[in-house]
Amino acid sequence: MKLQRIGHRYLDQASGQTIDTWFAASNAKKRRSCLAEKVGLIRGEFVEVVIESLDLPPVSTEDAYLRLHLLSERAVLPNGLNLEGLFGWLPVVAWTSAGPVFPAQVEALRDLLAAEFHHLTVPSIDRFPRMTDYVVPSGVRIADADRVRLGAHLAEGTTVMHEGFVNFNAGTLGESMVEGRVTPGVIVGKHSDIGAGASIMGTLSGGGKQKNAVGERSLLGANAGIGISLGDECIVEAGLYVTAGTKVKLPDGQVVSARALSGQSGLLFRRNSQTGAVEVLPTDSGRWGGLNAALHVNT
């Protein structure tokens, strides 16, 4: 599938290197402005970006930014496009209150802003900006926008609480609660809850290639974690981390590695408080009651 979009990019004035690129959802020529441009450290210009195929890896900074926009615009699902080599095309940027600049330019920017009565703040130095500075998807709530990177895919009805974190090429497929970490490559099904402090191993965890997911109507308890996929109507009790190699005791007494259960539905993972053994029992979403509908009115 060939894509063609009009973007507005910022370039470092001294080196001519692209800092970032923003694509208006309407694909119209819309420019941005900021104080870093006003004082001459960066310049803005329009650019036409063509992606011949999403199956091919990005070939420029502008191309990389367009792919991240497509994910956050919900035009493609996580793992639905080639992001090989993405990090190499994304420069480290100081995301400041006066606009994006390279980190080495922050002090010069501060000096040049002295006459502008602007108190410069630098909330982040990173390759990825906040999603909400580039794309604001409809029907979502995000308590702390610093914790959602551009390239996150948030479906309608998603709530990301203050301690929730959603990385690029990861996200939700429907109404859901995110209070823990959703890492690259991870997809969370509708009506599921990622509890406070919980985490899911993604494709960048230790260089792994496994694409883990959480099914529908599932609960990952507070401070729990998984290195496997969960199917529908699964529960992992609070504080329990289940890796692929975790030895799990089945109802019939058999002990297997948790990877053998990856993706299966209707399972409750818990630790026996007397023996310390990790056990698996059959369950259903009714065991935890499901999402609170009153908390997911996001319009």
Question: CA separation (Å) from 200 to 28, 167, 229?
Answer: 38, 11, 9
Q: What are the φ/ψ torsions at residue 76 (nearest 5 degrees)?
A: -140, 155
Q: Is the pLDDT of residue 226 over 90?
A: yes
> Quick one: what percent of the chain has pLDDT higher than 90?
90
pLDDT, the chain, mean = 93
Q: For residue 1, what pLDDT is reported?
A: 73
**Cβ atoms of residues 170 and 202 within 8 Å:** yes
Question: Which residues neighbour 166 within 8 Å (Cβ) at sequence distance 6 or greater?
Answer: 147, 148, 149, 152, 154, 160, 172, 178, 182
Taking the model in full, what pTM does it have? 0.93
294 pLDDT band (50/70/90 cuts)? low
Q: For residue 205, what pLDDT is reported?
A: 55
Q: For residue 78, what pLDDT is reported?
A: 96
Q: Is the pLDDT of residue 283 over 90?
A: no
Burial class (CB in 10 A: 0-12, 13-18, 19+), 96: buried
Q: Is the pLDDT of residue 274 over 80?
A: yes
Higher pLDDT among residues 271 and 299, named by residue: 271
Q: What are the φ/ψ torsions at residue 235 (nearest 5 degrees)?
A: -135, 135
Q: For residue 128, what pLDDT is reported?
A: 98
296 pLDDT band (50/70/90 cuts)? low
Tokens of 203: 């494709």
Could you read off the pLDDT of 245-259 as tens digits, one per residue? 999 999 999 999 999
Question: CA separation (Å) from 180 to 37, 71, 149, 164?
Answer: 37, 20, 14, 4
* Nearest C-alpha neighbor of 70 from the set 7, 129, 151: 151
Enumerate the active-site residues: 179
